[in-house]
Structure 1
Amino acid sequence: MARRHVFEFGNTAFLQGAGAAVVMTEDVGFLEDNKFTATTVTPAKGSTVKGKEIDFVPFGKGDKLPLRIMRKIHENTIVGSNIEFKANMAYGDGITVFRRTKNDNGEIKIEELLPLDVPEIFDFLADSNYMRVMQEMAADLVVFGDAFVHLSFGRRTKGEKPKVVQICHREMCFSRVSKQDEKTKRIEYHGYSSQWGEESSPDDVIVTKLLDRKSPLYDLKVRTGMVPNPENGEKKDEEETGYTVSLNLPVPGRYYYNRPYWWSIFLDWYEFSCAIPKFKKALLKNQMVLKYHVSINWKFWEKLYLSEGIAKDNKDKQATCKKKFLQNLNDFLSGEENAGKSFVSHFQYDQINKYEENDIIIKPLESFIKGGEYIEDSEEATNVICNTMAVHPSLKGASPGKSKNINGTEARELFIIAQVLFKPIRNMMLLPLYLAKELNGWDKTIEFGVKNVMLTTLDKNTGSEKSIGSEKM
């Protein structure tokens, strides 16, 4: 007689009699955009907008997409490692302040500036803790393809010329944008709250005006009265205490919130990559041979509880019902008397987004404990995910495939290519400083950059060199 034990491990379970590993999966519909219902909020204390209610656009299904993405990143070692690697690459060797000069021969030289050369700028960077701001922007841009910063002018007296005194980061997980204004056809406001996705009507939303995403510098000049308003030809300072800036990277077809290309891993290989370590853990922990891999959609449990008449808040009955179902599934898959039986599972097909949403998927496995189970599958999943996220596995320690090692020259070339590809992200990370430069009246010849670390051969006796683009420092 088959053993009838059912073991549950959080989002996975092991049916001992059937030798089946069960993984609770989330359908990929969480990525899809539905017709949204805007959240109307009253600006909280600290807002620069007062006396009016603002409609904000939810970020994904249930306004929970940012937190779901972060949870998925933390649940997968490959994805989490890639995000950290890319954020560190975007940060490079930190910020540098420099002048670009041309000598008599027409050669362009980079002259790095020191705190004694431009004390006002270095004081500004220190007051803003811009090294940390850069790290936060890098993380948000890598994960979400967007980031928000607030340009704070501090307290202003009437008629006082605006000046950026500090740049503050606004986390993407806690940021939302308002609905397009019917009159201006622009997104006018940014909302910052720790309650987005948790409360239907957050009461702590700090609302600030959002600069035009297409041309933030020009919009800043117009709003502060530096240049005439193109609509009426007048120069007028709005006398605000600050503005929020969006640093979104261009993604075709996206208006309110970006969907980075690498999110496509959540449609297929992500779940596979997550399942392999769970299988390996089950093998080591239970000394078992897996015969089946069973995927159960989380929505199935809601349907099951509803059919059994179990209330949503009755967690005890839900747990009992789930265990009973898993036990029945174990009995169904195990034993000679069940050989040849059929199993019927319903599924839906999304005509618009072209994917199947299954309740239950049962896959037979050919598994024999030899000590190297799923190694090739794990390497393939790692390779596909790294390729999608534009991270060469060899740069961070993993080298899938038969040839596990690369030589030093290949590593240096890969490192150079990787840094070149981060140019668009670094430009966005530096944009707030150029806005501050214009408003604060800093020297026009001053520029900002992110230093590269260029690896060299051992015979150079340096190990690495610093540069901005192709120019050595």
Structure 2
Amino acid sequence: MSDKELELAKIGKEGRVEKWRLVPSGIGNAANSLTTEFGSNTSEVFDEDGGRVNVIPITVNGVPYQYVPFGVDNMLPYKVKDTLLDNMVTAQCQAYNIMTCYGQGIRFVNREDFKDTDNREILDFCLRNSLHECFLEQCTDMKFYYFSVTCVILSRDGKKIVNVRNKDASFCRFEYAPSTKSGNIEHVFFGDFRIGHFDEQKIEVIPLLDFWDPLGDLEVRMGLRPDPETGLFRFPTGQRKFAILSRMPTPGLQYYPMPYYTSVFRDAWLDIYRLIGISKRFMIKNTSAPRIQIEVHEDYWDNVCDNEMISDPDKRKERKEKEKRDIIEFVCGVENAGKALVSGYYIDPNGKENRMVRVSTITDGSKKEGGNWSDDMQEAANALCFAFGVHPNLVGATPGKSQMNNSGSDKRELFTLKQAVEKAFHDVMAKPYHVILHYNGWSEKYTVDVPMIQLTTLDENKDSEVVSGQANKKGSEDGDD
């Protein structure tokens, strides 16, 4: 055991007997460390701006633009991410939400039977673009920020979309709409906007296709259909990279949607869970050390030095400190279990026994500390799971606890319900892929689907089966595209 972890603190003196207590090193600064450790409220993560829109000018390649920061200080997405990933329950809830949203991944399927297509051109497109990773990145952005930005890249001749890439939502910023000629958001700015990392020269400006009709906007820009405002065909643009915005609707007109789970930042439960964990840690750390009181006769230290014939003042001081460390090591060292401490004593004229060193325990070592808030911790964990739309039974909200053992049928139904509510996310995230299907001329025979995993019962002799999200929509795909 390191002598830096525990130290002897003098707590008083009774006659010629000094009283020492074994305490964690640095206990004198406990108040400051506690304040720092407990931190501030998570309600401060979101800045209330009273509905005002902040605008920041930016110049990229000599062209001036204006964009809307993500949060008052442009750091909101990073604060949200860090806060959620610092909490064991919210991090696992988000991971679970992302996995269930992914389902079986985005698939290009035949319109006739909704089976995976064997069209060689489509298969090559999926392979060249790592489509599953791209879709999983979309799911991550959607679950954290409720929007995703997908870039489509055209061939040199502009006849086909050959690449699709997801842009991390936390590094995307939207143009200030009133600053454009059309009054709409015309560009997405992609780059590192973190404080201390921002560099205008490294910001990428990507044209944003119309939110409601990205396919029509793309075809107008490429001269494939007339401009609805003028009725004339435009000269094809030389731009080959465009952004498509997919976002979940939320109340209010906001540049960046506010996910429903953000209520945990304004509510108290995220703070409650965090404070319970910190409190339990401090309790365990402060009570797991032996609560020992050591009484040492004031002559004991000099006797040790005299017995070893140490006369130099500095060496006597060093020897006394070493003796203190030896006492700590003896009391706390596991290897000293069962050993005895030998020290002298004398009988005073009144017949009272006076020991040179006395070690006494002041707490019950068999008492288990740290379990005071177990029920509160489970309650807080369940509240957080509720905020993220995850049933605690599916993720194990309180590790080590098994008080909510639902039946297999209940869990199967919970899992099915969870995947069913992801349908809205799937439809929104499929927007870029429908644009690809139509622009590349594949939409007549093929469509996209996100199959779900359907858990089965034991009598079916299989663990699970794949259920198409389009299973009940045959004959109505054109309206959904």
TM-score (norm 2): 0.71
**What is the CA-CA distance between 1:288 and the residue it aligns to?**
7.5
Q: C-alpha distance in 2, partners of 1:470/1:374?
A: 47
Moved more, 402-411 or 253-262: 402-411
Moved more, 208-217 or 169-178: 208-217
TM-score (norm 1): 0.72
1:171 is matched with which residue? 168
**What is the CA-CA distance between 1:371 and the residue it aligns to?**
4.9
1:442 is matched with which residue? 442
1:308 is matched with which residue? none
Query: Which deviations, in whole Å up to 9, do the C-alpha atoms of 1:383-410 show, x marking residues without a partner?
Result: 1111111111111123799951000111
**What is the CA-CA distance between 1:41 and the residue it aligns to?**
2.2
Query: Which deviations, in whole Å up to 9, do the C-alpha atoms of 1:312-347 show, x marking residues without a partner?
Result: xxxxxxxxxxxxxxxxxxxxxxxxxxxxxxxxxxxx
Q: Confirm or deny: 8 A CA contact 1:195 1:202 kept in the other structure.
A: no
With over 3 angstroms needed to count, the CA separation of the structure-2 counterparts of 1:371 and 1:269, relative to structure 1, is closer
Q: Confirm or deny: 8 A CA contact 2:287 2:369 kept in the other structure.
A: no
- Find the residue that maps to 1:380 and give its secondary structure: helix
1:138 is matched with which residue? 139
2:27 is matched with which residue? 5
Q: Confirm or deny: 8 A CA contact 1:145 1:259 kept in the other structure.
A: yes
**What is the CA-CA distance between 1:213 and the residue it aligns to?**
1.9
- Find the residue that maps to 2:385 and give its secondary structure: helix
- Find the residue that maps to 1:471 and give its secondary structure: coil
**What is the CA-CA distance between 1:27 and the residue it aligns to?**
5.7
1:71 correspondence with 2:82: yes
Q: C-alpha distance in 1, partners of 2:185/2:215?
A: 16
Pick the aligned partner of 1:30 from 25, 30, 45.
Answer: 45
- Superposed CA RMSD in Å reads 2.7
1:386 correspondence with 2:385: yes
Superposed, 1:2-401 pairs within 5 Å as 5-7=27-29, 13-14=33-34, 23-26=38-41, 28-34=43-49, 35-43=52-60, 51-101=62-112, 110-114=113-117, 117-154=118-155, 156=156, 160-182=157-179, 183-199=181-197, 202-236=200-234, 237-267=236-266, 268-287=268-287, 370-398=369-397
Query: Which deviations, in whole Å up to 9, do the C-alpha atoms of 1:46-83 show, x marking residues without a partner?
Result: xxxxx521111110021000110111012100000000
Q: Confirm or deny: 8 A CA contact 1:153 1:163 kept in the other structure.
A: yes
Ranges in structure 2 where 5+ consecutive residues have no aligned partner: 1-10, 13-22, 290-366, 473-481
Q: C-alpha distance in 2, partners of 1:449/1:60?
A: 34
Q: 1:250 corresponds to which letter in structure 2?
A: P
Q: C-alpha distance in 2, partners of 1:369/1:254?
A: 53
- Larger Cα Rg: Structure 1 or Structure 2? 2
Q: Could you tell me the percent identity over the aligned residues?
A: 26
- Find the residue that maps to 2:462 and give its secondary structure: coil
**What is the CA-CA distance between 1:151 and the residue it aligns to?**
0.6
2:329 is matched with which residue? none
With over 3 angstroms needed to count, the CA separation of the structure-2 counterparts of 1:462 and 1:202, relative to structure 1, is same
Q: 1:458 corresponds to which letter in structure 2?
A: L
1:453 is matched with which residue? 453
**What is the CA-CA distance between 1:91 and the residue it aligns to?**
0.8
1:320 is matched with which residue? none
With over 3 angstroms needed to count, the CA separation of the structure-2 counterparts of 1:136 and 1:470, relative to structure 1, is closer
- Find the residue that maps to 2:189 and give its secondary structure: strand
Q: Confirm or deny: 8 A CA contact 1:41 1:205 kept in the other structure.
A: no
1:106 is matched with which residue? none
Q: Which 4+ stretches in 1 moved above 6 angstroms? A: 1-4, 399-402
Query: Which deviations, in whole Å up to 9, do the C-alpha atoms of 1:229-256 show, x marking residues without a partner?
Result: 1110112233321111111111121321
Moved more, 180-189 or 270-279: 180-189
Query: Which deviations, in whole Å up to 9, do the C-alpha atoms of 1:283-320 show, x marking residues without a partner?
Result: 2212189xxxxxxxxxxxxxxxxxxxxxxxxxxxxxxx
Query: Which deviations, in whole Å up to 9, do the C-alpha atoms of 1:194-248 show, x marking residues without a partner?
Result: 2444456633100011112233233223222332211101122333211111111
Q: Confirm or deny: 8 A CA contact 2:58 2:66 kept in the other structure.
A: yes
Q: C-alpha distance in 1, partners of 2:74/2:376?
A: 34
Paired residues in the alignment total 367
With over 3 angstroms needed to count, the CA separation of the structure-2 counterparts of 1:198 and 1:212, relative to structure 1, is farther
Ranges in structure 1 where 5+ consecutive residues have no aligned partner: 16-20, 45-50, 102-109, 290-367
